Copies of this chain bind each other. A is one copy, B any other.
Amino acid sequence: MATRLGKTIQLDSFPSILSYAAIVGKKEGEGPLSTQFDAIHNDTTLGEKTWEKAESRLQKDVLTKALEKAGLPSSNIDYVFAGDLLNQCIGSTFGLREFGSQFVGLYGACSTMAESLAMAALFVDTSVASHCAAVTASHFCSAERQFRFPLEYGSVRTPTAQWTVTGAGACIVGPSGSLPIVKAVTFGTIEDLGIKDANNMGAAMAPAAAATLIQFLNDTSTSPDDYDLILTGDLGQVGSDLLKDLLLREHIALPNHNDCGLMIFDPIKQKDVNAGGSGCGCSASVLCSYICNRLRDGSLKDVLFIATGALLSTTSTQQGQSIPSVAHLVHLSSSR
């Protein structure tokens, strides 16, 4: 039974993340979280003929792995919530077409892991579903050629640019069982402070992260100190700094913050990622490995997962538009 608390939805039955899985590419597998992932692909094609097919394959494989870890056949999954960055979300629709579950397609750009997990938890909490899956992925090569330049062009990236993660994450949510549990969710509003630089998405998304976090803290009468980790994804370095500035203006300090885009790559050894990781698969693969592992073993107790999405397209940028963004929040906990 879900309860409204301002704009936040408290999930009173504490839906459980029964299992989770993360699959990544070579570069991500060489980063600091390498031991946390379920699989690392050294071949960026995953044996497929195109990068788009590889991206679909990531979604298919990660859901298969999560189901396997939950010990559930796909027929037990009522709803799959999924989306991705590819035009018309073909990563999800082609990757997940064989599972036979009811399919609710989402578009939240890089906020998709939080949007899909929030929706899965809400459906379970309201007894509309027994088991749901939340899935997303991104792929460096398909994103580069769709949003930026042909890879062969070898263009130089700006210092504020982020590196699209090749990776995928999936959670299976059920009524009760394993840890972590989902205690509350807050869907965000669209924020747009007028940033127009498509190579500085962190800055464009920081206002959305700030707005959703402030909303949640107000709704729940809590402060950042009440959580072990406030985890954004994926603001990168520029966006993370800006988030802290925006919160300080509201007299909110953020000591226990980290960002999935800063965690997945090594800032010294992998300097070429510039401002950090991004893409739907970045926060998805960090959440569905290291973060859920630590919530499960109890070394993290309460985590606010705030995934941010930049809601632009190449067309909107070419037409001189600014970058609207959204952030959705999921409160994960290791105790009821």
Contact = CB atoms under 8 A, between A and B. Distances in A.
Interface string A72-108: 0000001100010111111011101100111111111
Contacts of A7: 78, 102
Interface stretch (A184-192, A250-258, A290-298): A184-192
B105 A326 contact: yes
Contacts of A321: 94
A316 B105 contact: no
A106 B103 contact: no
Interface string A37-76: 0000000000001101100000000000000000000000
Nearest to A84: B107
Contact of A315 (B86, B104, B313, B324): B86
A321 to B, nearest CB: 6
A314 interface: yes
A127 B4 contact: yes
Taken together, the copies of this chain in the complex come to 2
B109 A115 contact: no
A63 to B, nearest CB: 13
Contacts of A90: 311-313, 315-316
A87 B313 contact: yes
A178 interface: no
A96 B316 contact: no
A319 B45 CA distance: 14
A107 B119 CA distance: 14
A46 to B, nearest CB: 15
A83 to B, nearest CB: 6
Contacts of A117: none
A105 B112 CA distance: 9
A107 B127 contact: no
A262 B138 CA distance: 38
Contact of A128 (B4, B89, B146): B4
Contact of A316 (B52, B188, B313): B52
A9 interface: yes
Nearest to A316: B90
A7 B130 CA distance: 11
Contacts of A201: none
Nearest to A310: B88
A310 to B, nearest CB: 9
Contacts of A128: 2, 4, 9, 122, 126
Nearest to A215: B102
Nearest to A102: B187
B88 A326 contact: no
B86 A313 contact: yes
Instruction: List 7 tightest A-B contacts by C-beta distance, closest first.
Output: A93-B311, A88-B313, A105-B107, A97-B190, A107-B107, A102-B187, A87-B87
Given A86-B315, A94-B324, A103-B189, 18 more contacts: A4-B127, A4-B128, A4-B129, A7-B78, A52-B316, A83-B107, A86-B313, A87-B313, A87-B315, A89-B107, A90-B311, A90-B315, A93-B312, A97-B192, A103-B326, A104-B106, A105-B115, A106-B107
20 contacts: A7-B102, A52-B316, A52-B319, A79-B187, A87-B314, A88-B311, A89-B107, A90-B315, A90-B316, A92-B107, A93-B311, A93-B324, A93-B326, A97-B324, A100-B189, A102-B189, A103-B187, A103-B189, A105-B107, A105-B311
